[in-house]
Amino acid sequence: MIKIVKRDQPSRAIFFFTPVLAIFLTLVAGGLIFFILGFKPFEALKFFFIVPIADKYGFSELLLKATPLCLIAIGLSFCFKSNNWNIGAEGQLTFGAIVSGGVALLFYEQEGFYILPIVILAGAIGGMLYASIPAILKTYFNTNEILVSLMLVYVSKLILDYLVVGPWSNPEGFNFPETRQFSDSAKLPLLFEGLRIHAGIFLALAAVVISWFVFYKTYLGFQMKVSGFSLKTAKYAGYKGKKMIILVFLISGACAGLAGVGEITGPIGQLHREISPDYGFTAIIVAFLGRLHPVGIIFASLVVAITYLGAETAQIFMQIPKYTGQVFQGMILFFLLASDYLLFFKFKFIGSKK
Amino acid sequence: MNTNLKISNVTKIYPGCVANDNVSLEFNSGKIYALLGENGAGKSTLVKILSGVIIPDEGEIYLNKNNLKLNSPLDAKKNDIGMVFQHFNLFETLSVFENLIIDSDEQRESLREKIDSIMKKYNFSIDLDIPVLNLSAGQKQKVEIIRCLIRNPKVLIMDEPTSVLTEQETSELFLSLKKFSEEGILIIYITHKLKEVMQLCDEVAVMRRGKLVSVSEIKNENIESLANKMVGQNLKTIKKKKAKNSSDQLIKITNLNFTSEDPFETNLMDINFSVNRGECLGIAGISGNGQSELFQVLSGEIISDKNCIEFNNNYIGDLNPQERREYLMAFSPEDRLEQAAIPQMKIFENVALNNFKSSNFFNNGLINENKIKEHSKKIISDFNVNTDNIELKSQFLSGGNLQKLIIGRELITSPDLLICFNPTWGLDVGAINYIHETLIKINEQNKSIILISTDTDELLKLSDKISVIHKGKLSKIMNAEEVTSEKLGILMGGAN
């Protein structure tokens, strides 16, 4: 007989094991889905997970997709670890892209080393501004940040829509909903000739290191953690709890904004309607799959990035819609949440009793 | 009709702990039964088995000779067993009425009539249409009781019901319980408070470490005999020596006022008092009369005029708690789990919450983990916290151990003044004794205490001077020898 027993304490080993288990179960379930659709499961999974990254170009694409995911997830980990449920990173990404894109357009047809830093900074500030809305509403008006941050995503997308169709649309663009191409000085340098991977990856890596340091090693990080768990405790300890909440939102917004900058000044090079295939939402999965730990998030962002690439390959070679990618992302989160049950419970095998 | 409830050879084993070890008990209606035991004695497990929340590994339960299979709380409800838990299971944002009807499929109108008649019968006055969050703890408990009564229970189980109640609310509750009992409801009352057992119950069963130790009639027992059975050893009685009449003033509060924007908080009006070195000032009162606000003003969570608070010849009214700690003040708030500590964080992280400069917990903005851990180990051994693992999340500490940790954390700086608010709330006798001894020791070292408490016995035991807070105003300060609990009761009710 199998009995489910509550653990005395959550197990540390299981804590890092469940993400691996979740990925494994996702593969099994994914294979099953392919089988039902009439494909050979192993072959289909190969198209999905191996073929896309089998060559140099594919690997560069993997890093390209993983960069924004990692950057946003790092920012989100600040929020999530301190119990602030910012799920509007997609909006902060979009707004960061709008602000930095606007600045980049200002410097249209200009050259200069100073342009790119300004553009990047503008993106971070844009993301921060946008994240400050749910933060301030939460701290001073007791609104629910989940709702506010989520709804603001759609607001930002509509603002972007308006801008690229209206005032910022390319005068020579035959009314296509897009802006002018940014000048080369407003673009992130490519790392290798012929590959799309760009310098934005260094931003993500820097974010990983800085976030690890701040959260685990500094007094500031400690105060954020305490304030996130309980504002009452923060007040009692003498911390400025509300400011800490706003701060984690700002950090998270800045990261999302930077991810937006990376996209528009990297592979895209202009503003148009679809600057992000929901990186801001997918990064939530990345953050949890990576256990909100900086190193975990690096691995998680790579795993989840494959689902983007795999979906494209599958569409081309197997004629399945690329939304399969989202199915896989959903399954990862689903299995992760399900296997988290093992954190608190264990199976115990006991012989039948006479 | 008589109700007979029988527990037969019930055993429940958790990993590393036998919560109930072959417990057999029998109850008959018409009497009020006490189930007495320290925290962790197994009484909560036993009543959870009776209410279907936990399924026992072995043993049977019989209600009027019928063998009950209680696999869920619903089964217990179906079998007319009602239970009021220590922690309320109410939806704060729903109205009282919505909370009452939530698990019922009867018609709203007929239920409303039924509820009205129950409230009339037992003299409960609660507005059914306001959200539960606006109710006092006593009222919330009444809502829970009504929720049971709607189902005409044969058995009503109350799990530590007075831990959140004021004395007044407690006596109201006792009246109601006696009435229920007269009407034939079998009442099982779980507690670790001996006085209540003596006051209310007819028979008492004592549990210790999962085992049933004794079953006896109240008239054959007294507080000491029950305490010894419960703890399993003879408790030493602690007595405070009278403080030397020092005239060395440590803290002085002058014309302190606090007006809250929150309608559910109490305004403080014209607070004046002073405390000398080596003295304990007790502040009595029914909960909700401004104690929480007074604590926050004293700790610096609420900032007041600089000149209102003079501490050790410094004016500190405008400083936050962290800054006040530098002047050697320490604070132990009422709410252990939501304010004084963070259950999800490790023990040593909770120790770091009391961050004073000389601790060097944080240097140049960086965490000095070794220092914090070293410090935590010292607190754990100095204050008898029952664990040796400072990496343990503090949610795994019992209430008593957590409170020892908190008091230890506050006292390790050897502060001149400790301000504590209901320091023994919800603790078992052993832990209460320990905390009381510690507080007396502080006074003996010529340090001072402001003890805000709703427990009058505690105040009379520990204080040198006592004042009563009522609706945000302090009564005059009296010498403890002149005060009796009756006198305090009258002042707490608002009379002069």
Q: What is d(CA B449, CA B256) in angstroms, rounded to the nearest whole number?
A: 19
**Which residue among B15, B342, B393 places its CB closest to the CB of A230?**
B342
* Residue B251, strand partner residues: B275, B311
Secondary structure percentages of chain A, helix, strand, coil, to 5:
70, 5, 25
In this complex, how many residue pairs, one in chain A and one in chain B, have their CB atoms less than 8 Å apart?
Answer: 67
Count of domains observed in chain B: 2
The predicted structure's pLDDT at residue B456: 83
Nearest to A226 by CA among B401, B374, B297, B338: B338
Query: Chain B residues with CB inside 8 Å of A235's CB?
Result: 301, 321
CA of B104: how far to CAs of A189, B70, B107, B122, B151, in Å? 66, 19, 9, 21, 9
The predicted structure's pLDDT at residue A353: 45
The predicted structure's pLDDT at residue B344: 87
In the predicted model, what is the mean pLDDT of chain B?
87
Query: Chain A residues with CB inside 8 Å of B301's CB?
Result: 235-236
**Which residue among A218, A220, A233 places its CB closest to the CB of B342?**
A233
Q: Judge contact between A179 and A169, C-beta under 8 A.
A: yes
DSSP letter assigned to residue A266: I
The tokens 């502060």 sit on which residue?
A: B415
Choose one of B198, B231, B264: the last residue of a domain.
Answer: B231
CA of B434: how far to CAs of B383, B424, B441, B449, B459, in Å? 9, 10, 11, 16, 15
Check CB contact under 8 Å for B322 and A237. Answer: yes
Is residue B151 located within the same domain as residue B186?
yes
Q: Which two tokens stand for residue B460?
A: 């009379």
The predicted structure's pLDDT at residue B496: 61
Nearest CA in chain B to A9: B396
Query: Chain B residues with CB inside 8 Å of A8's CB?
Result: 15-16, 396
Q: Does B244 reside within a domain?
A: no
CA of A225: how far to CAs of A74, A77, B330, B366, in Å? 15, 11, 22, 14
Q: What is d(CA B277, CA B249) in angstroms, rounded to the nearest whole number?
A: 6
Res. A354: pLDDT tops 60: no
Q: Does B266 reside within a domain?
A: yes
| A239 vs B: CB within 8 A | yes
Is residue B463 located within the same domain as residue B405?
yes
Res. A162: pLDDT tops 80: yes
SS3 label, residue B19: strand
The predicted structure's pLDDT at residue B493: 74
Q: Does B211 reside within a domain?
A: yes
Q: Does B73 reside within a domain?
A: yes
Distance, C-alpha B370 to centroid of its chain: 34
- How many residues comprise chain A? 354
Check CB contact under 8 Å for A238 and B323. Answer: yes
Cβ burial A142-180 (10 Å sphere, 16+ → b, else e): eeebeebbbebbeebbeebeebbeeebbbeeeeeebbbb
Check CB contact under 8 Å for A219 and B15. Answer: no
Check CB contact under 8 Å for B338 and A239. Answer: no
The predicted structure's pLDDT at residue A9: 66
Is residue B268 located within the same domain as residue B296?
yes
Q: Does B134 reside within a domain?
A: yes
| A144 vs B: CB within 8 A | no
| A220 vs B: CB within 8 A | yes
Q: Which residues fall within 8 angstroms of residue A139, CB to CB, at 6 or more apart?
A: A242, A245, A246
The contact set of B with A (CB < 8 A) is 14-16, 299-301, 320-323, 325, 331, 333, 335, 338-342, 344-345, 349, 352-355, 362, 365-367, 392-393, 396
Dump pLDDT digits (tens) for B275-333.
999 999 999 988 778 999 999 999 999 999 899 999 999 999 999 999 999 999 999 99
Q: Which two tokens stand for residue B86?
A: 């220590």
Is residue B210 located within the same domain as residue B263?
no
Q: Does B384 reside within a domain?
A: yes
Res. B349: pLDDT tops 60: yes
Q: What is the ipTM metric for this complex?
A: 0.75
The predicted structure's pLDDT at residue B235: 60
Is residue B180 located within the same domain as residue B79?
yes
Q: Is beta strand B186-191 parallel, antiparallel or unpaired with respect to B32-36?
A: parallel
Query: Chain B residues with CB inside 8 Å of A238's CB?
Result: 300, 320-323, 325, 355
Dump pLDDT digits (tens) for A10-55.
677 788 888 889 999 999 999 999 899 888 888 888 888 888 888 8
| A206 vs B: CB within 8 A | no
Mutant choice from B54, B57, B262, B339 vs A, greatest count of A C-beta within 10 A: B339
The predicted structure's pLDDT at residue B205: 93
Nearest to B148 by CA among B164, B124, B127: B124
Check CB contact under 8 Å for B352 and A222. Answer: yes
CB atoms within 10 A of CB B84: 22
CB atoms within 10 A of CB A197: 21
Dump pLDDT digits (tens) for A64-95.
999 999 999 999 999 998 889 999 999 999 99
Q: What is d(CA B266, CA B260) in angstroms, rounded to the nearest whole number?
A: 7
| A210 vs B: CB within 8 A | no
The tokens 């001149």 sit on which residue?
A: B416
Res. A131: pLDDT tops 90: yes
Check CB contact under 8 Å for B339 and A225. Answer: no
| Greater pLDDT, A216 or B246 | A216
Dump pLDDT digits (tens) for B114-173.
899 988 888 888 888 999 888 877 888 889 889 888 888 999 999 888 866 777 778 888
Is residue B299 located within the same domain as residue B357?
yes
The predicted structure's pLDDT at residue B15: 64
Res. B377: pLDDT tops 80: yes
* Residue B66, strand partner residues: B63
Check CB contact under 8 Å for A229 and B362. Answer: no
Q: What is d(CA B123, CA B21) in angstroms, rounded to the nearest whole number?
A: 41
Res. A164: pLDDT tops 90: yes
SS3 label, residue B60: strand
Q: Which pLDDT band holds residue B351 (cuts at 50, 70, 90)?
A: very high
Mutant choice from B355, B370, B389, B420 vs A, greatest count of A C-beta within 10 A: B355
Touching B: A residues 6-35, CB under 8 Å: 6, 8-9
Is residue B194 located within the same domain as residue B333?
no
Dump pLDDT digits (tens) for B54-104.
889 899 999 998 888 888 888 888 888 998 887 788 898 899 999 988 877
Q: What is d(CA A241, CA A302) in angstroms, rounded to the nearest whole number?
A: 34
Q: Judge contact between B449 and B281, C-beta under 8 A.
A: yes
Dump pLDDT digits (tens) for B440-479.
999 999 999 999 998 888 898 899 999 999 889 999 999 9
Check CB contact under 8 Å for A237 and B342. Answer: no
Cβ burial B473-496 (10 Å sphere, 16+ → b, else e): bbbebbebeebeeeebbebbeeee
The predicted structure's pLDDT at residue B237: 65
Nearest CA in chain B to A213: B366
Res. B245: pLDDT tops 70: no
* Structural fold of domain A2-349: ABC transporter involved in vitamin B12 uptake, BtuC (1.10.3470)
Average pLDDT over residues A227-236: 88
How far B470 CA lies from chain A's nearest CA (Å)?
A: 24
Residue spans per domain, chain A: 2-349
Dump pLDDT digits (tens) for B408-449.
999 988 899 999 999 988 787 778 888 999 999 999 999 999
B223-226: list long-range contacts, CB under 8 Å, 24+ apart. B223/B194, B223/B195, B223/B198, B226/B36, B226/B194, B226/B197, B226/B198
Nearest to A80 by CA among A249, A258, A262, A278: A249
Check CB contact under 8 Å for B366 and A217. Answer: yes
Query: Chain A residues with CB inside 8 Å of B342's CB?
Result: 226, 229-230, 233
How far A141 CA lies from chain B's nearest CA (Å)?
A: 13
Determine phi and psi for B261, rounding to 5 degrees.
Answer: -80, -20
Nearest to B94 by CA among B119, B125, B130, B139: B130
Specify the CATH number for the domain of residue B93.
3.40.50.300
Check CB contact under 8 Å for A235 and B365. Answer: no
Q: Which two tokens stand for residue A73?
A: 């997830």
Query: Chain A residues with CB inside 8 Å of B354's CB?
Result: 237
| Greater pLDDT, B252 or B230 | B252
| A230 vs B: CB within 8 A | yes
Is residue B342 located within the same domain as residue B473?
yes
Q: Does B345 reside within a domain?
A: yes
Dump pLDDT digits (tens) for B355-371.
887 888 998 889 999 99
Q: Does B255 reside within a domain?
A: yes
Q: Range of B314's domain?
A: 249-492
Query: Chain B residues with CB inside 8 Å of A236's CB?
Result: 299, 301, 321, 331, 333, 339-340, 353
Res. A158: pLDDT tops 90: yes
